[in-house]
Amino acid sequence: MEAGGSAPRGVTLTRQELADRAASLAAQGVYIGTSSWKYPGWCGMLYDRARYEYRGKFAEARFKRDCLREYAEVFKTVCVDAAYYTFPSQQYLESMVNQTPDDFVFGLKVTDTNGP
């Protein structure tokens, strides 16, 4: 996917094909993912919009809370940008771990001025 969530021209993969390729690479020690996972613009491509609708409207709070689980069905890693500004709390980190499979890998983007 290109920045902004669109697939590069000439490349068409289904969600399942992308998941299969990501899993195959991860099995070889090569992890591909994105710099975050909370992009509503990926609904219909990576995310099932219907999962996040409530009373006929897109529930952004629900999406932000729950979309990592669906992201992890496709990708095996993600970069957690939130750590760049302030290191996430243990509760936040546990919440992310609880939404992902055991083989999922997190990368934390941090600076030399923040840390545990």
Q: Quick check: is 47 in a domain?
A: yes
Total domains in the chain come to: 1
Residues in contact with 109: Cβ distance below 8 Å, sequence separation at least 6, in sequence order: 35, 79, 80, 81, 83, 84
Q: Quick check: is 115 in a domain?
A: no
Question: Residue 5 has which token pair?
Answer: 């969530």
| Closest by Cα among 24, 88, 27, 56 to 79 | 88
Q: Quick check: is 42 in a domain?
A: yes
- Please report, rounded to a whole number, the percentage of residues in the chain having pLDDT higher than 90: 68
Query: Residue 84: which domain range?
Result: 15-106
pLDDT computed for residue 115 by the predictor: 53
Q: What is the C-alpha to C-alpha distance for residues 78 and 101, in angstroms, rounded to an integer? A: 13
Q: Quick check: is 35 in a domain?
A: yes
Q: Quick check: is 114 in a domain?
A: no
pLDDT computed for residue 116 by the predictor: 55
Does 75 have pLDDT greater than 80? yes
Q: Quick check: is 113 in a domain?
A: no
The lowest-confidence range among 34-43, 74-83, 84-93 is: 84-93
Instruction: Count how many residues are written for the chain.
Output: 116
Q: What is the mean pLDDT of residues 51-65?
A: 94
Using CA of residue 60, residue 114, residue 26, residue 1, what is the dihedral sign? positive
Q: Quick check: is 44 in a domain?
A: yes
pLDDT computed for residue 112 by the predictor: 72
- Which CA distances in Å does 97 have to 27, 58, 87? 20, 25, 16
> pLDDT digits over 16-25, tens only?
999 999 999 9
Where does the pLDDT of residue 60 fall: very low under 50, low under 70, confident under 90, or very high at 90 and above? very high
Q: What is the mean pLDDT of residues 65-81?
A: 94
Q: What pairing do the DSSP bridges indicate for beta strands 57-58 and 53-54?
A: antiparallel
pLDDT computed for residue 109 by the predictor: 82
Residues in contact with 93: Cβ distance below 8 Å, sequence separation at least 6, in sequence order: none
